[in-house]
Amino acid sequence: MALVLYYAPGACSGVTINALEELGLDCDYRKIDLSSGEQKTEAYRKINPYGKVPALISDDKLLTENPAILLYLHSLVADSTLLPKTDDKYQAALYSSDLMWMSSSVHPSVRHVCMPMYYTLNQDTTDVVEKGRQSLTSYFNIAEKRLHNQAWWYGSKWSIVDVYLHWCYTRALRGGYSLSDFPALLEHQQRVEARPSFQRRKAIENR
């Protein structure tokens, strides 16, 4: 199987790279320069009409949306550690739900804080940032409670949900959102970053 991933350093595609590295799948990584708007060019839209990263090409077929890509990668490897093993259909649906919560609730609020100009026609973006901050505080409180007495989102085992959550709070941090009220998240950050697959992801994003 030939895999190609379109990614941008620092973007949510880092979660996808982390998953590929954790699984040890061979992948051709192709960098897209978001700062110059490469994602909106005709050439890139021929690859991904949505003009975003991540975009995975699997044997010449396009797959977009991080949760869908992560679930697909998980399904490719028999002993995948991306999510805990289960035969229970409800539990499997909960894993999908957690990934979708990251992508459709937490990530958009991160964007409201970090890129408010995308969400208003007004010059003044204060309101968008404030609403984003309020939402993030409520989401990160949920995560903080969950990680207060356990190392990982699912207890004692790392999963790709931890990496997705990590991307959300560290992206918010880089956008000026303080994590000082979230000590469990700050400890979680150290654990996520110590994982070898995270280190390999960073080396790929930095090259």
Ligand X SMILES: N[C@@H](CCC(=O)N[C@@H](CS)C(=O)NCC(=O)O)C(=O)O
Q: Where are the alpha helices (H) located in 4-106, listed in sequence order?
A: 13-23, 42-47, 66-76, 89-101
The verdict on 185 binding ligand X (CB under 6 A) reads no
The verdict on 103 binding ligand X (CB under 6 A) reads yes
The verdict on 12 binding ligand X (CB under 6 A) reads yes
Instruction: Give the Cα-Cα-Cα angle 144, 14, 39 (nearest 5 degrees).
Output: 125
In the complex, minimum distance from the CB of residue 100 to ligand X, in angstroms, rounded to a whole number = 9
* Backbone φ and ψ of 29, nearest 5°: -90, 125
In the complex, minimum distance from the CB of residue 52 to ligand X, in angstroms, rounded to a whole number = 3
Instruction: Give the Cα-Cα-Cα angle 158, 164, 169 (nearest 5 degrees).
Output: 110
Contacts (Cβ under 8 Å, ≥6 apart) of 189: 166, 169, 170
From 52-60, 140-148, 157-165, 188-196, span contacting ligand X (CB under 6 A): 52-60
The verdict on 66 binding ligand X (CB under 6 A) reads yes
From 50-58, 89-97, 176-184, 193-201, span contacting ligand X (CB under 6 A): 50-58
Nearest to 132 by CA among 152, 118, 112, 156: 112
The verdict on 39 binding ligand X (CB under 6 A) reads yes
In the complex, minimum distance from the CB of residue 54 to ligand X, in angstroms, rounded to a whole number = 6
Terminal-residue alpha carbon distance, the chain: 24
Contacts (Cβ under 8 Å, ≥6 apart) of 156: 150
Q: Please give the residue whose beta carbon sits closest to ligand X in the complex.
A: 52
From 18-26, 48-56, 80-88, 197-205, span contacting ligand X (CB under 6 A): 48-56
Contacts (Cβ under 8 Å, ≥6 apart) of 174: 10, 114
From 49-57, 83-91, 181-189, 192-200, span contacting ligand X (CB under 6 A): 49-57
Q: Give the three-class secondary structure for 149.
A: coil
Nearest to ligand X of 6, 158 (CB atom): 6
Nearest to ligand X of 50, 145 (CB atom): 50
How many CA atoms lie within 13 Å of 188's alpha carbon, on the beta-carbon side?
Answer: 33
User: Which of 3, 25, 34, 62 is close enough to bind ligand X by CB under 6 A?
Assistant: 34
User: Which of 11, 15, 57, 71 is close enough to bind ligand X by CB under 6 A?
Assistant: 11
**Residues within the interface to ligand X (CB under 6 A):** 11-12, 34, 39, 51-54, 65-66, 103
